[in-house]
A = this chain, B = another copy of it.
Amino acid sequence: MAETRVKSFVLRFLLAQPLTYWKLLKYIDVDIPTVQKTLKNLLRNKILEYKNNLFYLTSKGREEAKDLGISVFNSAMCPECHGKTVTLSPFKWLVKEFESLTFERPKAISEYDQGYVDSTDTVARVIFMYQLGDIEGKNIILLGDDDLTSLALLASGFPKQVTVLEIDQRILNFIEKKAALKGWNNLEVIRYDVREPLPDQFKGKYDVFLTDPVETIGGLRLFLSRCVEALKGEGSIGYFGLTHLEASRQKWWNIQKDILEMGFTITDIVRGFHTYLLERDDILNLELKVVKEAPVEIKIPEVDFYTSNLFRIYAVNSPQPLVRGKVDWQRELYYDQEAYVTCP
């Protein structure tokens, strides 16, 4: 059970050192509601204590770890790639170029479920795609691009064509301006609300899509359906991010069922690929459940705790979107019972 898993992780981490609430969320691959619930139980049962913003194991907690055969965690995460499988070393110029391009990027709007991915992670995603042959000479469509991945793709010089569909005009303007400055003419940007049907000119035109969808089952189905409709056919590829924090493994199951139903197989899932640079002040101010339902009184995050996993999917048949045409969803697009870092 997920609670047993949370408990084991808490024990192995805290045997090594006391940790904040935010670090525990970051390191435990279980959804926030379950982590919160387990922490409450462990505090009640005197396995844990909380002081000065840190969780500690009690002596009872240490006994418990011993009984369960759990020892001090000795992380084997690769120190070079941090578990991303690819190194940035041959592409350091691209990291620099991307950082310079995005220096004065538009501020993320938490109310719109924005919150962008760390620059090096964005470039690492592009490198990962390059490694798998999914960029060079390809037509690539991005649905939503507050991460500005389009600029990393264009700066790499590899894609044939990049199209950005995005609802936030600030982001479209920013991308367009930078591309114009650089003289890149293989970019197209269009203001688009995912609830609208995919415009005909984008249907069946792309080799690869990239999106970072909202984390509800319906929202994911909608984002992926729009993307899938833009693909050429068998052999087309999709990339997207999915978190464990706001998506339980049950939700993962539902999403994977959708993926197969749309005619895709999953070829890669890389754990913790993306770290999000959320506005830390907003976390406390926006009445988010990650704070309101916390088991203890917590402080502003001292670490970027929000991560997501990178999925790559491959069309084995002609891609079949599960949603077509206009939908009339409002707040439920962003918000479900597992949405703990999303504005209600």
Contacts and interface: CB of A to CB of B under 8 A. Distances in A.
A90 B72 CA distance: 13
A90 B4 CA distance: 26
Contacts of A160: 69
Given A76-B131, A85-B78, A130-B76, A136 B71 contact: yes
B266 A266 contact: yes
Interface string A287-315: 00000000000000000000000000010
A8 interface: yes
A252 interface: yes
A271 B316 CA distance: 18
Contact of A133 (B12, B80, B90, B256): B12
Contacts of A257: 260
State which size class the interface on A falls in.
Answer: 35 or more
A85 B87 contact: no
Given A235-B1, A252-B267, A256-B265, A78 B84 contact: yes
A269 B265 CA distance: 12
Interface in A120-157: 127-128, 130-133, 136-137
Contacts of A252: 265-267, 314, 316
Given A132-B29, A133-B8, A267-B249, A86 B78 contact: yes
Given A9-B133, A235-B2, A314-B249, A76 B71 contact: no
A69 B137 CA distance: 5
A146 to B, nearest CB: 25
Contact of A271 (B69, B130, B249, B268): B268
B85 A77 contact: yes
B131 A75 contact: yes
Nearest to A312: B269
A253 B265 contact: yes
Contacts of A76: 86-91, 127-128, 130-131
A269 B271 CA distance: 9
7 contacts: A1-B235, A68-B136, A77-B86, A78-B80, A83-B85, A249-B265, A267-B271
Interface of A: 1-2, 4-5, 8-9, 12, 29, 68-71, 74-81, 83-91, 127-128, 130-133, 136-137, 158, 160, 233-235, 249-250, 252-253, 256-257, 260, 264-271, 314, 316
Given A75-B131, A80-B81, 4 more contacts: A76-B90, A77-B131, A252-B265, A268-B271
